[in-house]
Amino acid sequence: MKLFHSHFSPYARKVMVVAHELGLAERITLLPSAAHPIKRDSNILEHHPLAQVPTLITDDGAVLADSRVICEFLDSLGGGALLPHTGPDRWNALTLQSTADGVLAAALLIRYELTARLESERSSDWISGQNQKIQTSLQSFEARADLFHNRLDIGTITLGCALGYLDLRLPNLAWAMRMPALKAWYETFSQRPSMQSTRPPAA
């Protein structure tokens, strides 16, 4: 398999954490990419119309994009350990994944506003609105952090990648100073070999 990848993409990291946890990482060749919110990477565009990272090319030539789709494919390939199939565990995992993905989306929109726009074009209201989404989500995670311990599924993996991305790209949020329970969970979860192996280089 081949994966269009960036070490700084939290969605690509999420895919690779899943791959490591399922024992599939060595089967994936990482392809460098130059994905950008404005200038699309022509190499990815040849395979998928959105030209987004991550994009996976399977062994049989199928092309899958979007981290949620790729992670579900890898989970099916690796025995279905990270996406519960039925019942409350499934909906809890998918809901946590969705909320953590929402945090990532808001953080990326802030990042793009600050880096892809001229300073004169930036909207403080836009940045504030995205930040509010992040803050309310973090408060929700903090209130439920005791439920995440000893839990490994697509929800906690996505949450771990989201918190890591906040530390990387939006360190001024200093979320850990206000979220002691979530901080304690993340400090343990981030020591998993899959998280250490996919840790992005310092920005």
Contact of 176 with 183, CB cutoff 8 Å: yes
Q: Return the pLDDT at 198.
A: 97
Distance CA 66, CA 71 (A): 9
CATH classification for the domain delimited by 87-197, as one of 1.10.1040.10, 3.30.565.10, 1.10.630.10, 1.20.1050.10: 1.20.1050.10
Model pLDDT for residues 36-86, shown as the tens digit of each residue: 777 788 899 899 998 899 999 999 999 999 999 999 999 999 998 899 999
How do the domains of the chain map onto residue ranges? 2-77, 87-197
Distance CA 84, CA 93 (A): 7
4: which residues sit within 8 A by CB, 6+ positions away? 31, 33, 35, 41, 43, 44, 47, 53, 54, 55, 56
Per residue in 89-128, pLDDT (tens digit) is 999 999 999 999 999 999 999 998 888 888 888 899 999 9
Based on the number of CB atoms within 10 Å of its own CB, is 187 exposed (0-12), middle (13-18) or buried (19 or more)? exposed
CATH number for 2-77: choose from 3.40.920.10, 3.40.190.10, 3.40.30.10, 3.40.50.300.
3.40.30.10
